[in-house]
Amino acid sequence: MNPKTDEPVSREIKQNITEELRDGRRTAIHPLLTVAGLGPGHPDYILPKVLKLCQEADVLVSGERHLESLRQVFGENWRPEDHILLGSGRPLAESFEDIRAALGKGCRTVILVSGDTGYYSMLGYIRRRLPEEPMTVVPGISSLQYFFAALGMSWEDAHMMSLHGREQDLAGALEDGRPVGLLTDGEHGTAWIARQMIGKYPDRRIYTGENLSYPEEKICSHLPAEALEYQEEGMAVVIIAGKSST
């Protein structure tokens, strides 16, 4: 790493930086740590605020795919001032030791996560690993938010859940007839969802979105009986239409 200074910043100084003075003489300054959502994938859907944060960061923390998206905006030769890699086989514990060291030296550090920061992102994990660190959280566009918009559907009454390594009550979510938005994984994709629906909800339409926002985006519509053998070709999310939308 190449931090601005080798001197650690004390907890008291961090509090003074991030807390608004009670007498109102000075407004709060942003914390050193920011967690920002990079959107569904394509750089067109990265918020301008997030792009500005990436350019101003002393240390950028991200996966390789996130860097590829940023280079499509800033140019193929763009490099952050300093970078900590997340993923690609590197243990998370090592990455977070580097993050902690950067923050201790007063570096403005931005951690990028896919989609939106508040929906099944790394935000909870980051808070558990860095519980003492004040942070700013900047939202992004989630893949499900993008997909509902692509289908011209509202989602204020939808059930939202992730099947990625989690036990979820899909049957219960289907009972009241509201739309259901689903993040999928390799075992729980469109075909698995169709098998859960075939007996009781044969007329509820399933929409599968693959590689959303990218040029190779693919959106398919099927009834459960038509989707029993469906195999996704890339990153996918699923929306089950509500009863009134079928």
For residue 26, how many other CB atoms are within 10 A of its CB? Answer: 10
User: What tokens appear for 92 in the block?
Assistant: 């998370």
- Going by pLDDT thresholds of 50, 70 and 90, the confidence category of residue 24 is very low
Mean pLDDT of the region 172-176 = 94
Q: Collapsing DSSP states into helix, strand and coil, what is residue 63?
A: coil
Q: Extract the runs of DSSP E, i.e. beta strands, from 15-138.
A: 33-37, 59-62, 83-85, 109-113, 135-138
Question: What per-residue confidence (pLDDT) applies to 94?
Answer: 94
d(CA 76, CA 144): 29
pLDDT tops 60 at residue 121: yes
CA distance between the termini of the chain: 54
Class of residue 200 by CB neighbours under 10 A (exposed 0-12, middle 13-18, buried 19+): exposed
Q: Extract the runs of DSSP E, i.e. beta strands, from 92-210.
A: 109-113, 135-138, 159-162, 180-183, 206-210
Question: What per-residue confidence (pLDDT) applies to 235?
Answer: 78
pLDDT tops 80 at residue 20: no
Mean pLDDT of the region 112-137 = 95
CB 186 within 8 A of CB 167: no
Chain segment 178-207, per-residue pLDDT in tens: 999 999 998 899 999 999 999 999 999 999
Mean pLDDT of the region 210-222 = 95
Question: What per-residue confidence (pLDDT) applies to 214?
Answer: 93
| Lowest-confidence pick of 29-33, 184-188, 237-241 | 29-33
Task: Name the nearest CA neighbour of 8 among 100, 97, 105, 98.
Answer: 105
Question: What per-residue confidence (pLDDT) applies to 29?
Answer: 61
Mean pLDDT of the region 112-120 = 95
Write down the mean pLDDT value for the chain. 88
